């Protein structure tokens, strides 16, 4: 399991879609958090960035089933025993190499994706009783719109906390465990021991055409939801 840094080989793990998804999400999440807190005339832009986050997250969820080997949830979602074993392994000095997300990080990815989707969906049906109602608020009761707004405020803060934990975890892996994870999320190539590097190089890749089709469907789904009343009336 443990190898000196020099024995590591760079192998392709994160496809261009996962990388573009991640760094676009970072920019849009920061923009959404700031504009949500500032409020006022920024809420118009906040809603647009929220729609973009929803499209990205829908894309990533589907890509987690039809994307390349390491984009798939099946490659990084594991049971509690693997998580505990990995967590205990972190206490040792050695580095535990994994091709995709590690067993604890994998669960964080799932939680972040689901909560981001929930956050945007609460936004879609919310009413802030000031000047803004989400585009689908008219299809639910006023009571639910108001509840959705308070869940949106609460979940916004929960997400900020989870993102802080996510960034601290990445800092820990990079500086304490000396894993070049940020570089991997930029270039797509992760430094791995030879056997894992061989396995990663031979793994199933997804076609770019499939990625563009899934992304287009995700954008279309959000556009339909946001414009439902304009396009379909009522």
Task: Confirm if 18 and 71 have CB atoms less than 8 A apart.
Answer: yes
For the chain, the straight-line distance linking the first and the last C-alpha, in angstroms and rounded, comes to 60
- CB nearer to ligand HEM: give 117 or 217: 117
Least separation in angstroms between CB 36 and ligand HEM: 2
DSSP-derived 3-state class of residue 190:
strand
The Cα 128–Cα 61 span in angstroms is: 29
Burial 139-158 (b: 16+ CB within 10 A, else e): ebeeebbebbbebbeebbee
Least separation in angstroms between CB 4 and ligand HEM: 20
- CB nearer to ligand HEM: give 126 or 189: 126
Footprint on this chain of ligand HEM (rule: CB under 6 A): 18, 21-22, 25-26, 29, 32-33, 36-37, 39, 43, 46-47, 50-51, 53, 60, 101-102, 105, 109, 112-113, 116, 119-120, 123-124, 126, 128, 130, 132, 134, 152-153, 156-157, 159, 163, 166-167, 170, 181-182, 184-185
The kind and range of the H/E element at 11 are strand 9-12
Q: What angle do CA 216, 60, 84 make, to 5 degrees?
A: 175
Least separation in angstroms between CB 38 and ligand HEM: 9
- CB nearer to ligand HEM: give 38 or 84: 38
Nearest-Å Rg of the Cα atoms of the chain is 20
Least separation in angstroms between CB 41 and ligand HEM: 12
Least separation in angstroms between CB 151 and ligand HEM: 11
């Amino acid at each position: 399991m443990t190898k000196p840094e020099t024995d590591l080989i760079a192998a392709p793990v994160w496809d261009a879609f996962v990388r573009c998804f991640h760094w676009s999400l970072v920019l849009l999440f920061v923009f959404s958090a700031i504009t949500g807190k500032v409020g006022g005339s920024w809420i118009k832009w906040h809603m647009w960035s929220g729609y973009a986050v929803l499209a990205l997250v829908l894309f990533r969820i589907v890509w987690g089933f039809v994307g390349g080997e390491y984009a798939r949830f099946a490659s990084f979602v594991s049971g509690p025993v693997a998580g505990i074993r990995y967590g205990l392994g972190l206490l040792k000095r050695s580095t535990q190499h994994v091709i995709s997300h590690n067993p604890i990080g994998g669960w964080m990815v799932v939680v972040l994706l689901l909560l981001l989707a929930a956050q945007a969906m609460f936004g879609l049906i919310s009413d802030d009783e000031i000047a803004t109602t989400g585009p689908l608020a008219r299809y639910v009761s006023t009571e639910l719109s108001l509840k959705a707004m308070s869940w949106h405020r609460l979940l916004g803060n929960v997400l900020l906390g989870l993102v802080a934990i996510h960034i601290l975890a990445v800092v820990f892996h990079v500086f304490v465990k000396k894993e070049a994870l940020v570089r991997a999320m930029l270039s797509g190539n992760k430094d791995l021991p030879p056997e894992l590097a061989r396995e990663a190089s031979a793994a199933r890749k997804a076609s770019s055409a499939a990625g563009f089709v899934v992304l287009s469907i995700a954008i279309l789904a959000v556009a339909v939801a946001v414009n439902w009343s304009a396009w379909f009336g009522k």
